[in-house]
């Protein structure tokens, strides 16, 4: 019965023993970890989708805000070439204004292409007096005010020119944007609530399954504080690992979408938001880190409360 | 039991203790006794008489429904929880169903009482190994309890109970799963601990080991009441079970 000479070397360290006071990998603990992983993954996806939405909205609104359109309508009896020449002068006048990057007179073909959805593809369109369109690109950092541009046109006595700022579009778009952002935030909040409920519940069941172990520790003289500390460390480790895995999975999901998403725009947005070097990427990772921290704290608290309850039921008044 | 030559007060005192589980009938009624340092006691009685329940009151797993339990001179009903844990550390327990932790090795199970009180592994590693060797588990230190035989589990449970050199050892059927030779060996271990000053209480059905232990007291439980005998008298006639 003499132990082999290397028996002692193979003995566990004290740290290892303390780490393993509660069983690491039994079914209820695995359930807890899977619950954490899944919920964190979903929350991270929702948060990521929200960031993508915000970024996309930013791009659209910027594009729309930074553009205006001028229509030069034909005067009575004016020939098309004359209208076009007038449009060129309007374009030149606008191009010199502060807050305007460049102007471009659209060719009649381009103008027709823009109007086609309204007028149809019929040859009739060719015979109508066609307005000449000017695309006015504004400086996105300090766009010229439309009223100022109108005043300029008036001062120079350009007749029959209409300047459109896309203002209605911008308003509607920003309404839509804030609605969808709000909706996304709502989904995220609901998901986080579900995460708290589920993770709390799973932590409690996992600990309840270890009641026998806790009871033995209690009966051989462990202090409540010692047991509570082991439980906390146990769930700290489990929750942190599972939550990190959930975030890793979300990262992988977006990495895949960055290559496989059906629309180029989405792929580019994903690259910019999650795999860029800008503030947005930093924000995304901070939010994900926050999700890990929240989940770990929730698990820790739930485990601590359950452990206190289990311990309180031992050597209790009613046996 | 109340040997006048032992100076200190009783280590364990029960006064009119009654115990009921939930709303059931009383399992223990009017139990009163004193145990002093160095007492050697057998607790007997038919199955279901309440032996394990009485031990649970002694190792502070249960509170009595009525009456007074004093351990080491302190009324346990008024002690704060940290002080109760300190008292439990002075008591070693061999549970009837062992209660070894299945996710730990035999070594870890036996070292557990020392670990939970924060002692340094290097200070007790050798003691634990020697104790395991002594109970014949030197070759099984890495084995999980689930792969140990019943007798091996029994010995691991005993080793865990005595590893911290408790002042009181409470053993619930500690020889129930071993052959007679090993039972005698384990009894010699208990008597050795007793000689070194530990108070030993052994719940058992086995008249053989009681007869083989002269000088011990027998507490016989029946229908919730307690009677006392000397071990030399052997067991009283077993009352017909209800
Ligand atoms: N947790 C419990 N809840 C309700 N009743 C219990 C509980 N534990 C024991 N009892 C009852 O208390 C009585 C005494 O049980 P106990 O285990 O103390 O007997 P015992 O003398 O140790 O029996 P054995 O020799 O079979 O181990 C039995 O009638 C049993 O059914
Ligand atoms: Mg029993």
Asked if residue B146 is part of any domain, the answer here is yes
pLDDT band at B132 (very low <50, low <70, confident <90, very high): very high
In a domain, B213, yes or no: no
ipTM (interface predicted TM): 0.91
Residue A15 inside a domain? The answer is no
* Cα-based distances in Å from A305 to A209, A232, A299: 15, 10, 10
Provide the pLDDT for residue A27.
87
Q: Which atom of ligand 1 is nearest to the CA of B56?
A: 18
Q: Interface of chain B against chain A, CB under 8 Å?
A: 19, 21-22, 59-63, 65, 81-82, 84-86, 88-89, 93, 99, 101-105, 107-108, 111-113, 115-118, 120-121, 125, 129, 133, 136, 138-139, 141-142, 160, 164
Residue A149 lies in a domain: yes
> Is residue B240 over pLDDT 50?
no
* Residue A204 and residue A296 in one domain: yes
Instruction: Count structural domains, chain B.
Output: 1
Helix H, strand E, coil C: the string for B132-200 is: HHHCCCHHHCCCCHHHCCHHHHHHHHHHHHHCCCCCEEEEECCCCCCCHHHHHHHHHHHHHHHHCCCEE
Q: Are A118 and A251 within one domain?
A: no
Ranges of residues in chain A with a pLDDT under 70 are: 1-9, 63, 115-128, 167-168, 317-319
Task: Please name the residue that has the structure tokens 């232990």.
Answer: B213
With respect to residue B142, please indicate whether it lies within any of the assigned structural domains.
yes
Measured between beta carbons, the chain B residues lying within 8 angstroms of A20 are: 103-104, 108
Average of pLDDT values for B213-239? Answer: 76
Site to probe by mutation for ligand 1, drawn from B53, B56, B225 as the one with most ligand atoms within 8 Å of Cβ, is B53
B33 or A147, greater pLDDT: B33
Distances (CA, A) of B220 to A201, A289, B46, B150, B225: 47, 64, 9, 27, 8
| Greater model confidence, B127 or B9 | B127
Banded pLDDT at B154 (limits 50, 70, 90): very high
Residue A6 lies in a domain: no
Select from A159, A194, A211 the last residue of a domain.
A159
pLDDT of residue A125: 52
**φ, ψ for residue A80 (rounded to 5)?**
-60, -40
Lowest mean pLDDT among A207-216, A298-307, B3-12, B104-113: B3-12
Domain end point (choices A159, A179, A213): A159
B50 Cα to the center of ligand 1, angstroms: 5
Please indicate whether, in this complex, the C-beta atoms of A7 and B120 are within 8 angstroms of each other.
Answer: no
Please tell me the predicted confidence (pLDDT) of residue A310.
95
Residue-range definition of the domain harbouring residue B155: 97-164
Residue B221 lies in a domain: no
Domain's final residue, options A159, A189, A224: A159
Using a CB-CB distance cutoff of 8 angstroms, which residues of chain B are in contact with residue A225?
82
Domain assignment of residue A38, yes or no: yes
The predicted pLDDT at position A25 comes to 75
* Whether residue B137 has pLDDT greater than 80: yes
Does B157 fall in a domain? Answer: yes
Whether residue A93 is found in the same domain as residue A200? no
Residue with tokens 């327990």: B93
B121 domain residue, yes or no? yes
Number of alpha helices (DSSP H) and beta strands (DSSP E) in chain B: 7, 10
Q: What is the extent of the structural domain holding A142?
A: 74-159
Say how many domains are in chain A.
2
Q: Measure CB to CB from residue A11 to each of B113, B125, B160 and give the nearest one.
A: B125
B43 Cβ closer than 6 Å to some ligand 1 atom: no
Q: What is the pLDDT of residue A1?
A: 43
């Amino acid at each position: 019965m003499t132990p082999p000479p290397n028996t002692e070397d193979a003995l566990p360290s004290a740290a290892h023993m303390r780490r393993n006071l509660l069983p690491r990998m039994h079914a209820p603990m695995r359930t807890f970890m899977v619950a954490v992983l899944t919920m964190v993954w979903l929350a991270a996806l929702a948060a990521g989708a929200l960031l993508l939405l915000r970024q996309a909205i930013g791009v659209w609104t910027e594009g729309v805000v930074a553009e205006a359109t001028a229509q030069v309508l034909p005067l009575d009896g004016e020939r098309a070439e004359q209208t076009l020449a007038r449009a060129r002068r309007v374009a030149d006048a606008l191009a010199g204004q502060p807050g305007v990057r460049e102007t471009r007179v659209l060719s009649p073909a381009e103008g027709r292409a823009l109007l086609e959805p309204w007028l149809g593809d019929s040859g009739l369109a060719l015979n109508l007096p066609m307005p000449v369109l000017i695309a006015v690109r504004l400086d996105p950092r300090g766009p010229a005010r439309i009223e100022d541009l109108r005043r300029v046109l008036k001062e120079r006595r350009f007749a029959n020119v209409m300047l459109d700022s896309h203002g209605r579009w911008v308003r509607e778009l920003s309404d839509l944007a804030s609605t969808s952002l709000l909706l996304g935030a709502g989904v995220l909040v609901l998901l986080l609530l579900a995460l708290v409920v589920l993770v709390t519940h799973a932590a409690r069941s996992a600990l309840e399954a270890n009641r026998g172990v806790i009871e033995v520790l209690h009966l051989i003289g462990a202090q409540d504080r010692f047991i509570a500390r082991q439980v906390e460390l146990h769930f700290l480790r489990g929750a942190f690992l599972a939550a990190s895995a959930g975030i890793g999975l979300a990262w992988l999901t977006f990495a895949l979408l960055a290559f496989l998403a059906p629309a180029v725009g989405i792929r580019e947005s994903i690259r910019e938001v999650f795999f860029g070097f800008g503030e947005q990427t930093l924000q995304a990772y901070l939010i994900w880190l926050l999700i890990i921290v929240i989940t770990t704290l929730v698990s820790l608290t739930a485990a601590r409360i359950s452990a206190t309850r289990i311990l309180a039921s031992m050597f209790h008044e009613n046996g | 039991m109340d040997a006048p030559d032992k100076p200190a007060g009783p280590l364990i005192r029960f006064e009119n203790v009654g115990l009921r589980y939930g709303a059931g009938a009383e399992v223990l009624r009017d139990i009163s006794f004193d145990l002093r340092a160095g007492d050697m006691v057998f607790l007997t009685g038919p199955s279901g008489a309440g032996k394990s329940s009485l031990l649970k009151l002694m190792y502070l797993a249960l509170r009595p429904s009525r009456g007074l339990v004093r351990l080491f001179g302190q009324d346990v009903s008024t002690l704060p929880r940290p002080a109760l844990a300190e008292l439990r550390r002075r008591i070693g327990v061999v549970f009837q169903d062992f209660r070894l932790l299945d996710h730990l090795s035999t070594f870890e199970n036996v070292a557990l009482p020392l670990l939970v009180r924060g002692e340094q592994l290097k200070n007790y590693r050798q003691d634990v190994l020697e104790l395991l060797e002594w109970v014949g588990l030197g070759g099984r230190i890495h084995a999980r309890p689930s792969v140990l035989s019943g007798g091996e589990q029994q010995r691991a449970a005993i080793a865990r109970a005595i590893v911290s050199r408790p002042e009181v050892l409470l053993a619930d059927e500690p020889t129930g799963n071993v052959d007679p030779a090993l039972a005698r060996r384990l009894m010699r271990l208990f008597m050795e601990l007793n000689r070194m000053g530990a108070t030993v209480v052994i719940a058992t059905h086995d008249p053989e080991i009681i007869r083989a232990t002269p000088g011990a007291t027998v507490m016989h439980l029946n229908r919730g009441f307690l009677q006392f005998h000397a071990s030399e008298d052997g067991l009283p006639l077993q009352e017909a079970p209800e």
